[in-house]
């Protein structure tokens, strides 16, 4: 059977074909532009390597000369004087290990511009007095109302299950000042499971900073200029191993962040041994002086819809009541006071967004000092 078309039908068909053709050309043009932006971003992030190391978990670690790290892309650090994971190899002297960014890493992000950054959260009030309305849920201990110059803690490390790629589970310290949702200054450090950023469900060491409530400043690890790394032994964003197991051995990490009273920079010490680097004071407004809130604990993102809560776990995925070997913990909780001295904080408070989903329970004893258990499984019979 032959389908015969009239002249009008020929014209109509020609027009439809032209529309489809133009749409394809526009689509191809856009498709070409995005990889071009990706390549440009990769070139900016991946500095020339003196040596490259392939880790067992699949990461490529580039040993980049300390003066070539992304921090020095910042105009204020152009003439800056630096203040003073090696399972498969070590970086040479005067280089630092940087996890190489791959094209797939950037393509998982919502845009090139937002890669390595947290989503802006329109928080109108501190977490400690009300829940966040953007899917972020917390189980934290905190202090506020004084001037703080640092914080210390030991936290055990787990591999919580994350339901969706763009959800996450983190356990960390927050050192903060300013107004939530407006001009918050925040320095953050701990461990996280964040598939959207890393492309896997490994538990990884991370840092973050912002000076404007996550709007346009700051990033994870070394994915923008800011944090100055000096350690040649620890790669930011690297997988942590071994991990704690339910009714098994418990493994923890120690993190200390404190403000240098002379230069004003915020330094990070990892594992009581590795001085990782510092956030220059000029990055911040309020934190150029001191912090007004310190938080310790867990955070998840709940993006589940249809009236159900996410099954993303916080900490070990078990409630505090289960105790040691089952639940996740923070111990040796301390702040740095105005005399540059570590001490136990006074008046620790707690906060949870949904206490049927994630819980925090504090305590104090001679061995652990101030401590708390925290976390939970997310969706459960009491948290539908």
Catalytic residues: 188, 299
Which residues, including other chains, have CB under 8 Å from residue 361's CB and lie 6 or more apart? Answer: 320, 321, 350, 372, 373, 374
Adjacent-strand bridge partners of 41: none
What is the rounded distance in angstroms from the CA atom of residue 167 to the CA atom of residue 194?
Answer: 7
- By the 10 Å C-beta count (0-12 exposed, 13-18 middle, 19+ buried), 50 is classed as middle
Residue with tokens 């003439």: 79
What is the rounded distance in angstroms from the CA atom of residue 162 to the CA atom of residue 314?
Answer: 9
Q: Could you write out the DSSP letters of every residue in 222-281?
A: TSSS--EE--SS--BTPBP-S---TTS---EEEEEEEE-TTT-PEEEEETTTEEEEEE-G
| Backbone φ and ψ of 285, nearest 5° | -100, -70
Angle CA 206–211–212, to nearest 5? 115
Which residues, including other chains, have CB under 8 Å from residue 144's CB and lie 6 or more apart? Answer: 126, 128, 292, 293, 294, 349
HSE, CB side, 13 Å, CA atoms: give it for residue 268: 30
CB 127 within 8 A of CB 180: yes
Residue with tokens 């490259």: 52
What is the rounded distance in angstroms from the CA atom of residue 226 to the CA atom of residue 230?
Answer: 13
What is the rounded distance in angstroms from the CA atom of residue 33 to the CA atom of residue 216?
Answer: 23
Which residues, including other chains, have CB under 8 Å from residue 355's CB and lie 6 or more apart? Answer: none
Which residues, including other chains, have CB under 8 Å from residue 46's CB and lie 6 or more apart? Answer: 62, 98, 100, 101
Pairing of strands 95-99, 60-65: antiparallel
């Amino acid at each position: 059977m032959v389908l015969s078309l009239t002249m009008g039908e020929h014209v109509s068909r020609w027009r439809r074909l032209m529309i489809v053709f133009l749409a394809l050309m526009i689509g191809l043009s856009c498709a070409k532009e995005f990889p071009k932006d990706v390549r440009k971003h990769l070139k900016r992030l991946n500095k020339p390597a003196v040596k490259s190391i392939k880790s067992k978990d699949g990461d490529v670690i580039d040993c980049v000369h300390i003066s070539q790290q992304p921090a020095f892309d910042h105009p204020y650090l152009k003439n800056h004087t630096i203040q003073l994971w090696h399972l498969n190899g070590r970086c040479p002297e005067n280089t630092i290990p940087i996890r190489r960014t791959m094209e797939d890493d950037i393509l998982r992000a919502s845009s090139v511009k937002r890669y390595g950054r947290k989503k802006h959260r329109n928080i109108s009030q501190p977490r400690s007095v009300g829940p966040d309305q953007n899917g972020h849920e917390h189980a934290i201990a905190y202090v506020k109302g004084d001037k703080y110059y640092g914080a210390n803690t030991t936290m055990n490390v787990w591999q919580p299950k994350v339901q969706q790629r763009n959800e996450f589970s983190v356990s960390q310290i927050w050192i903060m000042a300013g107004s939530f949702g407006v001009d918050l200054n925040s320095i953050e450090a701990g461990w996280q499971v964040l598939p959207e950023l890393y492309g896997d469900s490994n538990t990884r060491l991370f840092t973050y900073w912002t000076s404007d409530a996550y709007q346009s400043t700051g990033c994870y690890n070394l994915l923008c200029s800011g944090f100055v790394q000096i350690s040649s032994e620890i790669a930011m964003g690297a997988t942590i191993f071994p991990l704690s197991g339910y009714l098994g051995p418990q493994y923890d990490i120690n993190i200390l962040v404190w403000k240098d009273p002379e230069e004003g920079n915020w330094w990070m010490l990892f594992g009581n041994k590795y001085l990782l680097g510092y956030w220059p004071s000029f990055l911040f407004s309020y934190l150029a002086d001191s912090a007004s809130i310190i938080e310790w604990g867990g955070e998840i993102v709940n993006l589940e819809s249809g009236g159900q809560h996410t099954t993303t776990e916080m900490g070990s995925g078990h409630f505090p009541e289960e105790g040691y070997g089952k639940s996740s913990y923070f111990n040796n909780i301390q702040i740095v006071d105005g005399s540059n001295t570590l001490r136990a904080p006074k008046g620790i408070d707690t906060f949870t967004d949904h206490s049927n989903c994630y819980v925090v329970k504090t305590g104090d004893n001679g061995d652990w000092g101030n401590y708390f258990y925290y976390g939970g499984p997310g969706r459960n019979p009491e948290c539908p």
